[in-house]
Amino acid sequence: MKRLGLAFGLLFLWAPILLMVVYAFSADRIPFQWGGFSLRWFAALAANERMREAALLSLRIAAGAATLATLLGGLAGWALARFGPFRGRALLGALAGAPLVLPEVVTGLSLLLLFVLGQGAAEAVFGWAPGRGAATILLAHVTIGLAYVAVVVQARLAALDPSLEEAAADLGAGPFTTFRTVTLPLIAPSLAAGWLLAFTLSLDDVVVASFVSGPAGTTLPMLVFSALKIGLTPEVNALAALFLALAALFVGAAGLFLARRANGAG
Amino acid sequence: MRRLFILLPPMLWLLLLVAAPLGILGLIAFAEAGPGVPPFIPPLGWAGGPVWQGSSESIGTLLADPYYLEAFLRSLLTAFVTAALCLLLAYPMALGIAGARPPWRIPLLLLVLLPFWTGFLPRLGAWIGLLRDGGWVNGMLGAMGIGPLRLLYSDLALYLGMVHAYLPFAVLPLATALMRRDLALEEAAADLGAGPWVVFRSVTLPLSLPAAASAFLLVFIPAAGEFVIPELLGPPEAQLVGRVLWGEFFQNRDWPLAAGLALALLVLLLPPILLFQRLGRRG
């Protein structure tokens, strides 16, 4: 009974995805129609200039946003987990938690209004304002990513055995050495997980990016979204297969790494 | 001193990019729409001193026009049905994962979460390709002598897309809670003569209720403001709040009305959000 439920759920989750991957290799112009094996849609994807440009922009924004979000979110998680009760703690917690629960349209619209007012103020003071585009998307994605990183890091720090750090201090390590040799290696996996989460969220976001972007910044999800509004194209199909292959490769590599580490440690 | 260096960067960032935008949103909801760029008259003007030149016209429109009320009701209903369906599907899945032998649990959990990493839009694309007129599902149905049916741009497509996108969010908290549960309680109940169904109903299920509530809210909250899935899969008349807000902003360029909608959505979602955070602290 339990197994049946699990099998049904997994089938529901995976059937559309797997079918899509299979048909990505179909030569037919109509998606989900078999016209013999072919790699032509992957070739078409690689030759699509706009797609390539948008993908490059998205990857750059995602990498930058994830890195900044990990730094800022790590600091926020540290403050929340380690500073005990302090003035502003409730505020920090509420603000760091907000992007997790706010509807995307609210986050997108409110950030856009901030950027527009900021542009207006810059124009009034300097006579010139930077345009909206990659930079504003980056700022928005850092904010969202920060929230996720803070949660992950705070949870990890709270679960840490304090005796490890105390032992380092007892053995004469200063606070910085303790942090570098004991704490940091222990929270590194959560920092990596947070970075990856922020990276994925940025690469997946179409709503917030559409609000805060200008005419210069079209990310890959924005491009795919406008294509899907008309219908599924075989190129998007191929793109999905590519995404899944990359994700599977990554999870496989991470699994191998973790298994090896567990073997080495145990 | 060192604490300040740690606290200040994220605090300033969040004040500037979370608190300030929400404040501005609340302010612009009371602005008057205008033809300029940006298309509104700032509600706080300056003429030798601060002058209030806002209007409650947008909020008035929201309350007076049944179109908006309907959008809110429809959004809440859609989010409720989506969350309930996710819970119904996720619970047996979580039980299955928690009941698997320990080395299988993490791979099974990954199998649930991996679709999340294949991209949100590509997954919706798969449903479009499957459900469209003359698509794969209609081809299969045709072979069985059924159809053709109008599947895409229907409530069925909307809910398939919503549940498919949000199901992993519901499985995760349930599976974690069920894996952590103390099996001794269930064994005790069984030793005292309870059958498997009675054990489930009187021990397992009540103990997992907080996690189930978390899972429900984790789906309900984002689903209520969802824009992309109704836009790509739903029927044109499924005007949910996310879509209405998008339309007011991008098509009608009525920013104060869009801000008013966002504000109203926020107020509406505040109780479930606070409940969710309380559950999170307890768990």
pLDDT tens for each residue of A18-71: 999 899 999 988 888 888 899 999 999 889 999 999 999 999 999 999 999 999
The confidence score (pLDDT) of residue B183 equals: 85
CB contact under 8 A, B3 and A3: no
Contact B129, A32 (CB under 8 A): yes
Asked if A196 is an interface residue toward chain B (Cβ–Cβ < 8 A), one would say no
A263 pLDDT tier (thresholds 50, 70, 90):
low
The confidence score (pLDDT) of residue A151 equals: 92
B261 in any annotated domain: yes
Q: Which range is least confidently modeled, A42-51, A116-125, A221-230, B39-48?
A: B39-48
What ipTM was estimated for this complex? 0.91
Q: Where are the domains of chain A?
A: 49-231
B129 in any annotated domain: yes
Asked if A167 is an interface residue toward chain B (Cβ–Cβ < 8 A), one would say no
pLDDT digits (tens, 9 = 90+) for B32-58: 888 877 888 888 877 788 888 888 888
B70 in any annotated domain: yes
B34 in any annotated domain: no
- pTM for the complete prediction? 0.92
The confidence score (pLDDT) of residue A266 equals: 39
Beta bridge partners of B51: B45
Task: Give me the mean pLDDT over the B61-67 stretch.
Answer: 91
CB contact under 8 A, A79 and B10: yes
pLDDT digits (tens, 9 = 90+) for A129-184: 888 999 999 999 999 999 999 999 999 999 888 888 889 889 988 888 888 888 99
Identity of the residue in B125, B222, B255 whose CB atom sits nearest the CB atom of A240 = B125
Asked if A121 is an interface residue toward chain B (Cβ–Cβ < 8 A), one would say no
B171 in any annotated domain: yes
B255 in any annotated domain: yes
The confidence score (pLDDT) of residue A262 equals: 67
The confidence score (pLDDT) of residue B19 equals: 97
- Which distant-in-sequence residues (6+ apart) come within 8 Å of A239 by Cβ? A45, A51, A224, B122
**Dihedral of the alpha carbons of B206, B207, B209, B214, in degrees to the nearest 10:** 180
- Which distant-in-sequence residues (6+ apart) come within 8 Å of A84 by Cβ? none
In the predicted model, is pLDDT for residue A204 greater than 80?
yes
Residue A9 CA to residue B89 CA, distance in Å, equals: 6
CB proximity under 8 Å: A 222-251 to B: 224-225, 228-229, 231-232, 236-237, 239-240, 243-244, 247-248, 250-251
pLDDT digits (tens, 9 = 90+) for B94-131: 999 998 998 899 889 988 988 877 788 989 999 999 99
B13 in any annotated domain: no
In the predicted model, is pLDDT for residue B211 greater than 60?
yes
Task: Give me the mean pLDDT over the A101-124 stretch.
Answer: 94
For chain B, give the DSSP string: -HHHHHHHHHHHHHIIIIIHHHHHHHHHTTSEE-SSSSSEE-SEEESSSEEE---SHHHHHHHH-HHHHHHHHHHHHHHHHHHHHHHHHHHHHHHHHHHS-HHHHHHHHHHHHHHHHT-HHHHHHHHHHHHSTTSHHHHHHHHTT------TTSHHHHHHHHHHHHHHHHHHHHHHHHHHS-HHHHHHHHHTT--HHHHIIIIIHHHTHHHHHHHHHHHHHHHHT--HHHHHHS-TT---HHHHHHIIIIIS--HHHHHHHHHHHHHHHHHHHHHHHHHHHH-
Domain range enclosing B278: 58-282
More confident residue, A258 or A94: A94
- What single letter denotes the amino acid at residue B260? G
B24 in any annotated domain: no
The domain tally of chain B equals 1
B282 pLDDT tier (thresholds 50, 70, 90):
low
Contact B29, B22 (CB under 8 A): no
Averaged confidence pLDDT in chain A: 90
The confidence score (pLDDT) of residue B25 equals: 95
Q: Which range is least confidently modeled, A88-92, B115-119, B211-215?
A: B115-119
Q: Which top CATH class is A49-231?
A: mainly alpha
Residue B236 CA to residue B230 CA, distance in Å, equals: 8
**Which residue's entry shows tokens 């559950």?**
B279
CATH number at residue B267: 1.10.3720.10
A11 pLDDT tier (thresholds 50, 70, 90):
very high
Task: Give me the mean pLDDT over the A195-206 stretch.
Answer: 93
Averaged confidence pLDDT in chain B: 90
Asked if A257 is an interface residue toward chain B (Cβ–Cβ < 8 A), one would say no
Task: Enumerate the residues of chain B whose CB falls inside 8 A of the CB of residue A248.
Answer: 114
